[in-house]
Structure 1
C-alpha cells in the first residue's frame, strides 16, 4: 500500500460453485459484462498490492485464461479442505514477504479498497488480526462476531454453534481477514478441523489469536459491499446493486436518465456531460458517449464511440467498431458495425452500415445496406462527404462513392461512383396508359361470373 506497510492479497476462488449449475467457474460469471473476480481485483488495485495470489481449484484453467497477462500468481488447492486450508496454499508463493496479508473471496466482488485500508489501520493500532463484519437484514446462518463497543473481538462463533444470546447478535462475519504475514501463516498453521465438516475454517485464525491473548479488531461495513454470490439469483441481485450505483453515479456526473431503472450500463461505460438517455437502453462493453449526445429508447450499444451532439435511436444497434462523428445521427432500426460516420452524417431509417467509412454530412436513405461479406471475406465501402444514397440501395463492397455523388433509389451499386456523379442502377420503367383500368374491369367481370350460381 502506498506510504504504508506492503500488502499481499490472497483471493480464494477454489470452490466448485455447484449452486450456479454452470460450466463456467463461479467467479467468472459477469456483473455488468465483467467477471466478478476482475471486479474485485480491479477495485483492490488502488491499494497497489506488491503481490497477488489466486487460490484456484475446480476449473482452474478457466481462471488462468481469464487472468492471462495480469500480475497475479495462481496456486491450486487440492484437495479442498476449507477456507483456512485454501489460504495456506498461498504461503509458499509469498515466501519472504513481510508485509500484511489480506485474505478475501473471489465471489465477493464489491469489496472496496477503502475498507481494506481501515482493516490495515486496525493492525497499526495494535491488533494482531482484523476481521470484517456487517449487519445484514437477515442474519440467516452467518457466523457471529461478539465484540466490545471499541471493536475488540471477544469471540467468533459459527451460527450452528452459537447460543440463543449469541444468535441475537446482529454483527456477522464477512470472512475477510488481514494480519501480518508471519502472524497469518502461524495462525493458519494452527487451525484444526475438529468440526462436523472436518474442514479448516478461516475464522479460526481470529479465534486462535484471541486464545493466545492477542487483540482482534472488527471493522464494520455495509452488507451490500460484502454480499457473496453463490447462485444465479444472488448474481442477479449483485447486478441490480451495481446498476443502481452506476445509474446514480451517471446522473451525479451530469447525464439525464429518463427512466433510470430501465437503463443498463457496462462496467466501463463512459458518459459525457448533458447526455440524455431515454428508457430501455443497454450498453455493452467499450462504449464512450461524448457531451450532449442523445440515446433514444430501446437502443443497444457496444464497442462504440459516439461523438458530441450525436443522436442515436430509437431502436438502433451500434456494434463494435462503430464511430460517430459530432452531430451524426443514427435513426430507428439502423445497425452500424465497424464503420465510421463523419460529422453530421445521417442514416435515419432501416439501414445496415457495416465495414464502411461515411463522409461528413452524407445522407444514407432508408433501406440502404452495405453488402460487406461475400461468404469468405469482409470488404469495405467508402462513401464521400455530402454523398446522397437513395432509399433501398445496395452498395456491394468493395466500392467507393465519391463526394457529392448521388445514388438513385433502388440501385445496386457494384462499381465505384465518381465524385459529383449520379448513378442509377435499375430497370427502365415501362408505361402502358390505361392498362390498369382494363385489368380491373376484366378481373371484376371474371369474379362476377364466377360468383353466379
Structure 2
C-alpha cells in the first residue's frame, strides 16, 4: 500500500488581514481555516501530516494539538523553502505527499482523494489541483499538451494573449512523489524579484527531467479560494455556510431561512429537525430528530434530544434531553444536564446544574450548582444562593419537591423528597422529606397606619 503524507503551509504572517490574529487562525463558520484544512487531510488516513509554522507558531500548535506534527520556517523565504523544512522527516521515505495551504478552508476530502487517485493512475511525479475559472485574471494558468499532461504553469504577468485566455488555473495544491519532491527542492533557485524559493518551480524541474506532470481539475471552483484578506474571508464564510446548509437540507433538515442560519462544520443534525432564522449552531453540537431550534437561538457544544424545542435561547457545553422546552430567553450555561420532559422557561438561567425528568423552572429563576430531582417544580424568582464570594456550594432538591415563588436556597442545603418550601422563604437549613418549610418574617398589619403617614407629610 502506498504511504501517504501531507505538508500544510501555515507559516506566513498574513499582513493583508490587518489583524493581531494569525491569518490561518481566522475562523470560517466557527472553525479556524487551518483546522478545516488539517481535518480534511486527516480523513485520508495519512501516515504523516506536518504543518509548517512560523509567525504565531505556538498558537497554531495550540489549535491543532495532536492532529499534526510541526516544523518551523524561521525565515519566510517562499513556499519551496517552507516545504524543505520537512526534509528531515520525509525526504527518505517512499510514497506520495500532498502539499496544501493553511488558508484554503474550502478544500474537501473528496477532492483531495480524487487528486491522489489521479496522481497514482497517471503514474505522475507531480499532480496539480486545478479549477475552471470564468475569470482567470490573477491566477497562474495551467497549460496542457495534446496528451493532457501539463506542459507548464504560466503566471498572469508572463502569459501570452493565447495563454491568458486559458481558464484552467493553478489552485496552489499539489500531489508529489515524495522522494522526487525533496530531491527537486534542492535545485530550486531564488533567482527572482522576491528572492524566494517557489514550490511551482519543482514542476518545471520535473518536466525538464522528462517526468510525467498531471493535473486533476476540481468541479467546484470555490475550493480554490485562498484567503488573504477580510474580503476573501467573508467569501469563504458565505460559501462554507451555503455548503453546510445545503448538505443538512438534503439530509432531511428544514432550514426556514438558510441565508440567516449559521451551522458549524462539525454539527450533526437528525431528520425532520426545523431550524428557524437567526440561529447559530457551533462546535460539536448534535441535534436529534424532530427538534425545533430558534428563532434566534445560539447553541454550542450541546446535545439536544429528540422533539426538544430551544426558542430564542442560549445553550453552551450542556446536555439537553428529549421533549424538553427551553425558552424563550433562557440561558443554559456550561456543565448543565436537563433530563427528558424538563421545562426551562423565560428568563431562567441554569449553570452546572442537573434537572431530573419532568422537572420545571418556568420563569425568572437562577439555578446554579444544583442537583434537581425528577418531578420538581421550581417557582418563579427562585435562586440557589451558591457563592459566598470565594467558594461555590451545592443545592440538592430531591424528587417531587415543590419550591414556592421568590425562594432563596442558601447552599449547601438539601430540600428532601416531596417537601414544600413556602413562597418567599429563605432556606439555610436542610428541609426533611415531606415537610413544609416556612422561613419568612411573620406578617404584621398596622391598621390606619397609612393615614398617619399622610398626616405627617402634610405637617
Structure 1 residue matching 2:34: 3-state secondary structure: helix
Q: Is 1:344 aligned to 2:335, yes or no?
A: no
Supply the distance in 1 between the matched residues of 2:343 and 2:249 (Cα, whole angstroms): 23
Find the partner of 1:107 among 103, 109, 116: 103
The Cα offsets for residues 79-106 of structure 1, whole Å up to 9 and x where unpaired, read as: 1110111011111111432110111111
Find the partner of 1:321 among 313, 335, 353: 335
The Cα offsets for residues 353-387 of structure 1, whole Å up to 9 and x where unpaired, read as: 21111111211222222222222122111111122
Structure 2 residue matching 1:155: 3-state secondary structure: strand
Give 1:395 deviation, angstroms. Answer: 1.6
Give me the TM-score of the superposition, normalised by structure 2. 0.89
Supply the distance in 2 between the matched residues of 1:150 and 1:319 (Cα, whole angstroms): 61
Contact 1:254 1:272 in 2 (8 A): no
For residues 14-93 of structure 1, the aligned pairs below 5 Å read 14-68=11-65, 70=66, 72-93=68-89
Contact 1:54 1:75 in 2 (8 A): yes
Contact 1:340 1:357 in 2 (8 A): yes
Structure 2 residue matching 1:343: 3-state secondary structure: coil
Structure 1 residue matching 2:151: 3-state secondary structure: strand
Equivalent residue, structure 1, for 2:272: none
Contact 1:255 1:276 in 2 (8 A): no
Supply the distance in 2 between the matched residues of 1:159 and 1:367 (Cα, whole angstroms): 68
Supply the distance in 2 between the matched residues of 1:389 and 1:375 (Cα, whole angstroms): 25
Structure 2 residue matching 1:428: 3-state secondary structure: coil
Q: Is 1:290 aligned to 2:305, yes or no?
A: yes
Give 1:138 deviation, angstroms. Answer: 4.8
The Cα offsets for residues 177-219 of structure 1, whole Å up to 9 and x where unpaired, read as: 0111111112222222232222122222223323333332222
Equivalent residue, structure 2, for 1:270: 286
Give 1:439 deviation, angstroms. Answer: 6.1
Equivalent residue, structure 1, for 2:239: 241
Contact 2:139 2:169 in 1 (8 A): yes
Contact 2:303 2:318 in 1 (8 A): yes
C-alpha change, 1:439 and 1:159, in structure 2 (3 Å) is farther
Find the partner of 2:224 among 223, 226, 248: 226
Supply the distance in 2 between the matched residues of 1:252 and 1:349 (Cα, whole angstroms): 37
C-alpha change, 1:207 and 1:112, in structure 2 (3 Å) is same
Supply the distance in 2 between the matched residues of 1:275 and 1:253 (Cα, whole angstroms): 15
Give me the TM-score of the superposition, normalised by structure 1. 0.90
For residues 194-213 of structure 1, the aligned pairs below 5 Å read 194-213=191-210
C-alpha change, 1:240 and 1:311, in structure 2 (3 Å) is farther
C-alpha change, 1:248 and 1:332, in structure 2 (3 Å) is farther
Structure 2 residue matching 1:351: 3-state secondary structure: strand
For residues 51-450 of structure 1, the aligned pairs below 5 Å read 51-68=48-65, 70=66, 72-124=68-120, 125-136=122-133, 138-147=135-144, 151-221=148-218, 222-260=220-258, 261=260, 262-284=278-300, 286-297=301-312, 299-436=313-450, 438=451, 442=455, 446=458
Supply the distance in 2 between the matched residues of 1:150 and 1:417 (Cα, whole angstroms): 86
Contact 2:377 2:401 in 1 (8 A): yes
Contact 1:144 1:159 in 2 (8 A): yes
Supply the distance in 2 between the matched residues of 1:330 and 1:374 (Cα, whole angstroms): 26
Give 1:410 deviation, angstroms. Answer: 2.1
The Cα offsets for residues 47-71 of structure 1, whole Å up to 9 and x where unpaired, read as: 1100111111112122233333x15
Larger CA deviation: 263-272 vs 163-172: 163-172
C-alpha change, 1:134 and 1:265, in structure 2 (3 Å) is farther
C-alpha change, 1:320 and 1:235, in structure 2 (3 Å) is farther
Aligned length: 439
CA root-mean-square deviation: 2.4
Q: Which runs of 5+ in 1 are unaligned?
A: none
Contact 1:257 1:279 in 2 (8 A): no
Give 1:163 deviation, angstroms. Answer: 2.8
